Amino acid sequence: MVPALAVAAALRAEGAEVAFIGGERAEAELVPKAGYRFSTIGVEGLSRTNPLKALRSLLRAGAAVFRARALLGELRPQAVLGGGGYVAGPVGVAALMRRIPLVLSEADSHLGLTNRALAPLARRVCLAFPIEGRDGARYRVTGRPIPASNYDREAARERLGIAPEQTCVLIFGGSLGARSINVAAIEAFTGAAFHVLHVCGKRDYPELAGRELPVGYDLREYLDLEEFADALSAADLVVARAGGSVFEIIAHGLPAILVPYPHAAADHQSANARWMAQGGAAVVLADHELTSARLAREVAALLSDRARLAAMGAAARRLARPAAAAEVAQELLEAAR
């Protein structure tokens, strides 16, 4: 939802009216909170291992196409953006049925199933990363849209309770969290000389919060979008997975230690991490190599070498695509015209 909301804000800034169609997941809370009209369709992810669940998903997707077609008839949009998830499939099909121009956005380093199916019929496919074989007029590399932020480090630190002179290491791994990172970090950095801001996710929070943690170890279950922007603005170094959030990391000019999720579709997190490492902005650790001792050594090596840390931050800023949301929004506006 982060890229979609960023594009919506860019469209709104151009005077466009924006409405969302989604499922009953995070978008059901985030979209109305951001002030947009929100309608739902009933869909679920396609199981790759259970044939009965896969059949149920396909049947629900078929029914969702008719629901989406009716919603598009009510909304009468001039263009439709597909955000790449399985919710976008029925809406994209419904848009094509109604001959509404369709633009797709891909946030990862490979095209997901929905985007692969819809790409041949889309007006434009906006890519976060260059993808081999996905070039020509239909494809455009825009970067991954992220929310605008003023990156006020001093104000962010004040809101988070971090002293101006403290070094801050930010650790996160998605809304549910990343078990391997959570365990390694809490063992590596309990008693660390620097401030630790650890967003561990809902799954592991009860267990980790039960441990005795020192004052400088700030364990959080979850941060909303504004708080997450503050955390990035306040940090000196990030330890994280390598999903779409890599674009938020580089937008803030942050060096990173990335631990790609090994079971991500098409191993796209490893590709994301390699892209950052090749650009000079990240150190990559394989998940099976991650231990508390290894993580402590890698962080200590970076924090003790301020010149290297600064060079990695500068490399991150060179990789950033701050205009991504505006570029995707312009593609939609041109399609609508």
- pLDDT of 240 higher than 80: yes
- pLDDT of 44 higher than 80: no
Percent of the chain with pLDDT over 90: 72
DSSP code for 134: B
CATH of the domain at 238: 3.40.50.2000
Residues 29 and 43 in one domain: yes
pLDDT tens digits, one per residue of 270-303: 999 999 999 999 999 999 999 999 999 999 999 9
Residues 117 and 192 in one domain: no
Domain, as residue range, for 212: 153-319
pLDDT category, 310, cuts 50, 70, 90?
Answer: very high
Give dist(CA 145, CA 317) in Å, integer. 15
- pLDDT of 76 higher than 70: yes
Residues 294 and 327 in one domain: no
- pLDDT of 142 higher than 80: yes
CB contact at 8 A, 77 and 237: no
Residues 90 and 199 in one domain: no
Q: CB atoms < 10 A from the CB of 121, how many?
A: 13
CB contact at 8 A, 264 and 279: no
- pLDDT of 2 higher than 70: yes
User: Could you tell me the strand order of the sheet in which 282-284 lies?
Assistant: 217-220, 195-199, 168-172, 237-240, 256-258, 282-284
pLDDT tens digits, one per residue of 26-39: 888 889 999 999 99
Percent of the chain with pLDDT over 70: 99
- pLDDT of 60 higher than 90: no
Count of structural domains, the chain: 2
Give dist(CA 333, CA 325) in Å, integer. 12
CB contact at 8 A, 175 and 201: yes
Give dist(CA 180, CA 184) in Å, integer. 6
Residues 271 and 329 in one domain: no
pLDDT on residue 87: 86
- pLDDT of 176 higher than 70: no
Residues 328 and 313 in one domain: no
Output the average pLDDT for the chain: 92
Specify the pTM.
Answer: 0.86
Residues 174 and 125 in one domain: no
Of 154, 286, 170, nearest to 220 by C-alpha is 170
Q: CB atoms < 10 A from the CB of 276, how many?
A: 24
Residues 103 and 229 in one domain: no
Residues 169 and 127 in one domain: no
Residues 290 and 305 in one domain: yes
102-106 and 256-258 strand pairing: unpaired
CB contact at 8 A, 146 and 251: yes
Residues 43 and 176 in one domain: no
Sign of the dihedral through C-alpha 247, 102, 90, 130:
negative
**DSSP string computed for 144-207:** ---------HHHHHHHHT--TT--EEEEE--SS--HHHHHHHHHHHTT-SSEEEEE--TTTHHH
Residues 233 and 250 in one domain: yes
Mean pLDDT of the 326-335 span: 97
